[in-house]
C-alpha cells in the first residue's frame, strides 16, 4: 500500500503540473555542453609537443611510428618555432646523423648528408621537391620534417641510401584561426608571417588556409643580403562522405647574394675574418622564382579500400651574375676569381595513382599499397664564365669595384630531360600481436637525355631498376620493440663527365637493426639504430675541371639515436646523437681509397630542452636552451683539409602576456663560437653565425 500511495501522489503531481490551470508556461531546458576530444594524431597534422606518434612518410600510409621496422626521425614545426629559426637545416640538426653540405652559395637546400651519404633529393608531401634549384623551403607552411633513415627507393624511387627527407606542409583545419608573427634580429633581419585558416561553409566540408611570409634580411657577412616573398594557399573539399579533394600551391619570389664564403689559406684558419665577402657587391643578387601546384583526390571504395590520385607540377627560374673565388694564389693573400652568368629554368610534373587496402589472409592481417608514378623533368641550364684580365682580390683587405672581365666566354649550356615510369608494391603484415613485418619493391624505368650545346654532345641512356626492402619488428614488451631491415637504392647520375659520356647509375644497399622505446608512460619516444651501407658509382666534383667524375665505392657504418617527448607536463625535449664512420672504399689518385667522405663528422649531437610554467602569472610562458655539437669533418674530397669541431649553445624564452599575445627572445651562439658550417674546398668555406639575437611577437587573432 505505501508504494501505491507514492505512485498515486506522483501521478497527481505530474497531472497538476501538466494542467494549464496549475502550471506555468513550460521553460526550455538548457543542457550542459559536452566536449568530445580525441588523442588521435594525424600523420599530416600538428604534433603535440615534440613527440610525433604517427607518420605517413615511412610507408605512405597512416602508421604508428612504433610499428615501423625502420628508424624515422620526426622534427615538428614547434622546434623551429621555439628556436626562433626558419631554417630547415636547423631542424635537421635534431634528426640525428644529418650533415650540412653544399648550399649553392646560399640559394637553396642543394645538398645534405644522411648517415654519411650526400644527396640532393628531398620530398614535400611525398613528391620529389628538389629538381632544379628550388629556393629553400619556407618554414611558414611546414608542419613537420620527417627523416626516413636508410634506403627508401622501394617507396620513393631514385634516391641515396643514407636516408630520405620528407617535408609535410600545413593543411586546412576545421577550426578558424589567424596567427601573425613578426620578428627582428641582428644585422637588420626582419620577417613577418601570416597563417589564416577559414572554413568556407557551415558544415565544415570546404576549408581554406593561406600562409604568407615576407623577409628582408642582411647577414653578418659583408654585403650579403636576401629578400623573399612566400605565398602558400590551400583548400580542402569533402565532396561527399567518401571523397575528398586537397589543392595546394606555393609561389616564391626570392633573391639573395651568391656567397661562397671565405678562404682557408694553406688549409689553416688564421687572419681571414668570417665576415669577409670575396665577391663583388655590384654584381647584384641572384633571383630564384618558383611556382608549385598540386592536388590530391581520395576516394574510399569501402571501409577497407581507398584510391588516391595525385598530381604535382612545379616550375622555376634562376638567373643572375656572381664573382666567385676560384683558387688561392701563390702569394697566400689573394684569391683568383671568375665572373659567372647563370640562367636556368626547369619544369617537373609528377602523377601518382595509389590503391591502399586492408585484408586478412588466414591469421595474418595485411595493409597493401599498390602505386604507380609518372614523372617528366626538364631543365635548361646555362652557366657562362667570362675570362680576361686580373680579377683577384685580397682575402684580408678586399678592395671592391674592379673592372669586370670582358674576354673569352666559356661554360656549360645543356638541356636535360628525364622521364620515368614506376610501379611499387608494399605490404605491412601483422603476424601476431608481437610480430610485424613489411616488404616492398619498386620497378622503375628511366629515360634520360642530355643535349650539351657547349660541347655539341648528345647523350641518352635508359635504365630499368628494381629496388626492394624488407623489415621485421618484434614487440619485446609493451614499451620496447626490436627491429631489423635491409633495403636497396638506385639513382641515375646526372650530367656528363669531362669526355662527354654519361655516368652509370649509383646503387646502394643498407642494413639496419635497432630498438624503439616508449618511456615515462609513453610520453617520450626513443630510437637507437645501428647501420651499415655500401654505395657504388659515386660521383664527386673535380675542382680541377669543375666537372663530375665517378669516384668508385663508398661505405658508411655506425649508429644514431633520437629521443623526443614530454618528460613531465612542464618539460619537453628533443635530442639526437650519431656516430658515422664514412669513407671511400674504392678511389683513385685524386680521391684515394680510405678518404673520409666530404663534410661528414664521425660524432655529432644535439639537445633542446624547454621548461613551460604551469601555474601563476607565468603560466604558458617558457624558457629553454639548445646545445649542438659537430665533430671535425673533411673539408675537401681527397684532401687533408679539415673543418674543426665546434659546439654552440642557444637560449630561448617566451612570455605569454595573454592567451593571444606572446613575446619571444632567442639568443644564439651565446659564447660566440667561431666555427665553419660546411665547405667544398679550402676556397669555398661557409662560416657559422656569430653571437646574435632575435625578438618576436606572436598574435593569435
Q: Over 80: is that where the pLDDT of 220 sits?
A: yes
Q: Give pLDDT, residue 38.
A: 52
Three-state SS for 10? helix
Q: Any residues with CB less than 8 A from the CB of 1 and at least 6 apart, and which?
A: none
Backbone angles phi, psi at 471, to 5 degrees: -150, 155
Instruction: State CA 448 to chain mean position distance.
Output: 27
Q: Over 80: is that where the pLDDT of 532 sits?
A: yes
14 in a domain, yes or no?
no
**Residue in 265, 261, 268 with CA at minimum distance from that of residue 222:** 261
Q: Give pLDDT, residue 300.
A: 97
Q: Give pLDDT, residue 109.
A: 83
Q: Bigger pLDDT: 540 or 680?
A: 680
Q: Give pLDDT, residue 547.
A: 64
Query: What is the pTM (predicted TM-score) of this model?
Result: 0.90
274 in a domain, yes or no?
yes
Alpha-carbon distances, residue 258 vs 235, 355, 383, 684, 685 (angstroms): 35, 45, 14, 12, 13
The CATH number of whichever domain residue 282 belongs to comes to 2.40.170.20
607 in a domain, yes or no?
yes
- How many angstroms separate the CA atoms of 101 and 112, rounded? 5
Q: Bigger pLDDT: 296 or 389?
A: 296
603 in a domain, yes or no?
yes
Percent of the chain residues past pLDDT 70, beyond the cut: 91
Domain count, the chain: 1
Domain span at 612: 57-700
43 in a domain, yes or no?
no
pLDDT in tens, 406-429: 888 888 899 999 999 999 999 999
pLDDT tier, 96 (very low <50, low <70, confident <90, very high otherwise) = very high
- How many angstroms separate the CA atoms of 506 and 538, rounded? 6
- By the 8 A CB rule, do 369 and 356 touch? yes
- By the 8 A CB rule, do 698 and 229 touch? no
77 in a domain, yes or no?
yes
Angle made by CA atoms 229, 232, 234, in degrees to the nearest 5: 165
99 in a domain, yes or no?
yes
- By the 8 A CB rule, do 174 and 199 touch? yes
195 in a domain, yes or no?
yes
Instruction: State CA 699 to chain mean position distance.
Output: 26
The whole-number average pLDDT for the span 46-67 is 93
Amino acid at each position: 500500500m505505501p508504494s501505491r500511495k507514492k505512485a498515486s501522489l506522483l501521478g497527481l503531481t505530474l497531472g497538476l503540473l501538466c494542467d494549464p490551470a496549475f502550471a506555468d508556461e513550460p521553460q526550455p531546458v538548457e543542457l550542459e555542453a559536452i566536449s568530445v576530444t580525441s588523442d588521435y594524431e594525424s600523420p599530416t597534422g600538428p604534433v603535440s609537443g615534440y613527440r610525433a606518434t604517427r607518420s605517413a612518410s615511412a610507408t605512405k600510409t597512416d602508421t604508428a611510428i612504433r610499428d615501423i621496422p625502420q628508424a624515422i626521425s620526426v622534427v615538428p614545426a614547434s622546434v623551429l618555432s621555439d628556436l626562433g629559426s626558419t631554417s630547415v637545416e636547423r631542424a635537421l640538426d635534431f634528426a640525428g646523423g644529418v650533415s650540412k653540405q653544399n648550399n649553392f652559395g646560399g640559394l637553396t637546400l642543394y645538398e645534405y648528408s644522411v648517415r654519411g651519404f650526400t644527396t640532393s633529393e628531398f620530398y614535400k608531401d611525398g613528391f620529389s621537391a628538389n629538381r632544379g634549384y628550388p629556393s629553400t623551403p619556407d618554414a611558414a607552411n611546414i608542419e613537420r620534417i620527417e627523416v626516413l633513415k636508410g634506403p627508401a627507393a622501394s617507396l620513393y624511387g631514385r634516391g641515396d641510401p643514407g636516408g630520405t627527407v620528407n617535408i609535410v606542409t600545413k593543411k586546412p583545419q576545421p577550426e578558424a584561426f589567424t596567427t601573425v608573427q613578426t620578428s627582428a634580429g641582428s644585422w637588420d633581419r626582419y620577417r613577418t608571417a601570416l597563417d589564416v585558416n577559414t572554413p568556407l561553409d557551415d558544415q565544415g566540408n570546404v576549408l581554406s588556409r593561406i600562409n604568407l611570409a615576407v623577409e628582408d634580411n642582411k647577414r653578418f657577412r659583408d654585403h650579403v643580403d636576401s629578400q623573399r616573398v612566400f605565398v602558400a594557399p590551400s583548400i580542402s573539399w569533402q565532396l561527399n562522405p567518401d571523397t575528398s579533394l586537397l589543392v595546394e600551391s606555393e609561389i616564391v619570389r626570392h633573391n639573395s647574394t651568391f656567397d661562397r664564403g671565405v678562404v682557408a689559406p694553406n688549409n689553416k684558419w688564421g687572419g681571414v675574418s668570417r665576415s669577409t665577402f670575396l665577391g663583388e657587391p655590384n654584381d647584384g643578387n641572384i633571383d630564384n622564382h618558383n611556382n608549385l601546384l598540386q592536388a590530391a583526390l581520395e576516394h574510399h571504395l569501402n571501409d577497407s579500400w581507398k584510391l588516391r590520385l595525385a598530381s604535382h607540377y612545379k616550375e622555376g627560374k634562376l638567373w643572375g651574375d656572381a664573382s666567385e673565388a676560384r683558387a688561392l694564389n701563390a702569394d697566400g693573400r689573394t684569391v683568383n676569381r671568375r665572373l659567372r652568368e647563370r640562367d636556368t629554368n626547369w619544369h617537373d610534373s609528377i602523377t601518382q595513382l595509389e590503391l591502399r587496402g586492408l585484408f586478412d589472409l588466414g591469421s595474418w592481417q595485411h595493409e597493401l599499397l599498390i602505386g604507380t608514378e609518372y614523372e617528366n623533368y626538364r631543365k635548361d641550364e646555362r652557366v657562362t664564365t667570362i675570362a680576361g684580365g686580373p680579377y683577384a682580390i685580397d682575402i684580408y683587405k678586399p678592395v671592391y669595384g674592379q673592372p669586370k672581365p670582358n674576354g673569352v666566354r666559356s661554360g656549360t649550356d645543356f638541356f636535360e630531360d628525364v622521364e620515368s615510369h614506376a610501379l611499387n608494391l608494399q605490404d605491412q603484415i601483422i603476424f601476431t600481436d608481437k610480430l610485424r613485418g613489411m616488404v616492398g619493391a619498386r620497378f622503375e624505368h628511366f629515360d634520360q637525355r642530355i643535349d650539351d650545346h657547349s660541347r655539341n654532345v648528345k647523350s641518352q641512356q635508359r635504365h630499368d631498376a628494381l629496388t626492394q626492402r624488407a623489415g621485421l619488428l618484434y614487440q619485446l614488451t609493451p614499451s620496447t620493440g626490436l627491429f631489423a631491415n635491409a633495403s636497396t637504392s638506385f639513382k641515375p647520375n646526372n650530367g656528363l663527365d669531362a669526355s662527354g659520356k654519361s655516368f652509370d647509375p649509383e646503387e646502394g644497399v643498407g642494413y639496419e637493426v635497432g630498438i624503439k622505446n616508449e618511456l615515462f608512460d609513453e610520453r617520450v619516444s626513443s630510437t637507437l639504430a645501428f647501420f651499415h651501407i655500401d654505395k657504388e658509382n659515386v660521383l664527386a666534383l673535380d675542382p680541377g675541371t669543375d666537372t663530375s667524375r665517378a669516384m668508385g665505392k663508398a661505405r658508411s657504418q655506425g649508429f644514431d639515436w633520437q629521443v623526443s617527448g614530454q618528460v613531465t607536463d612542464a618539460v619537453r625535449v628533443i635530442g639526437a646523437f650519431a656516430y658515422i664512420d664514412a669513407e671511400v672504399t674504392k678511389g683513385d689518385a685524386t680521391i684515394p681509397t680510405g678518404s673520409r667522405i666530404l663534410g661528414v663528422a664521425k660524432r655529432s649531437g644535439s639537445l633542446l630542452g624547454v621548461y613551460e610554467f604551469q601555474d601563476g602569472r607565468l603560466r604558458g610562458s617558457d624558457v629553454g636552451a639548445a646545445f649542438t655539437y659537430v665533430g671535425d669533418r673533411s673539408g675537401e674530397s681527397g684532401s687533408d683539409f679539415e673543418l674543426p669541431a665546434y659546439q654552440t649553445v642557444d637560449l630561448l624564452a617566451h612570455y605569454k602576456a595573454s592567451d593571444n599575445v606572446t613575446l619571444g627572445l632567442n639568443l644564439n651562439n651565446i659564447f660566440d663560437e667561431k666555427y665553419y658550417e660546411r665547405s667544398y674546398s679550402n676556397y669555398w668555406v661557409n662560416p657559422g653565425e656569430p653571437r646574435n639575437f632575435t625578438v618576436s611577437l606572436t598574435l593569435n587573432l
